[in-house]
Structure 1
Amino acid sequence: MLLPCAKERRPVMADMSKLSEEGKTWLDEEARARAMEALRLRKEENSQKEKIDNARLHAGSSMYFYCRYCEALSDTLPESYIDPPTRVCKDCKPLKDAGLLDDQPS
């Protein structure tokens, strides 16, 4: 699985097969630092973008959902959606799976 490296805009390879007893992935400190820096940059970039307020949309409009961690658009569903929306974007999912993100967003 690949973790993004925002500074160089290239993926950082992380071995997701080496799991500890808690289910967390063993990453070296450099890869962990690069992944967290990429998250910080994504969050900073996304915080400046205007979010769509679902309450202000017309009836029948699609609903927009944002990532809990970096505030990127994570899912767009029709107003009549039944299945729960994705709350973690594709860039933050590997970090969450690796145990680098808390259950509570910052």
Structure 2
Amino acid sequence: MPDDHIRQTKEPVPRSRSGVIGDRSPRAGTEPSNAQSPLRLRLLLSGIFLPLFVAAAVVFGVWAAASDAGDTPGRGALVTIAAVAAALALIAALDVTIVARRLRRERVRRA
């Protein structure tokens, strides 16, 4: 039959090989099997931005508390900005702890 090559079906990929958004492509062989992010750079960036986000959350929170009904920007916008800054500070703090734990684990493996 001439249409045999069209009717080929793809076998389902086992769950252990499937990605979050569909199938993962097979390894080409050039990438490392255990790819890691540069931990020291992540630690540096999180260490820089953690105090900045904390300071921003405090400043916008105090500004929101001191604002009156007719002020611009409004209290709602200031509270929203303070909440976003606090959430980013929380993410940065979590990243600092995760990276520090991974670096400590690498030091133990090397020793």
TM-score, normalising length: structure 2: 0.28
Question: Based on CA coordinates, which of the two structures has the bigger radius of gyration?
Answer: 2
Name the structure with the higher strand share: 1
TM-score, normalising length: structure 1: 0.29
Name the structure with the higher helix share: 2
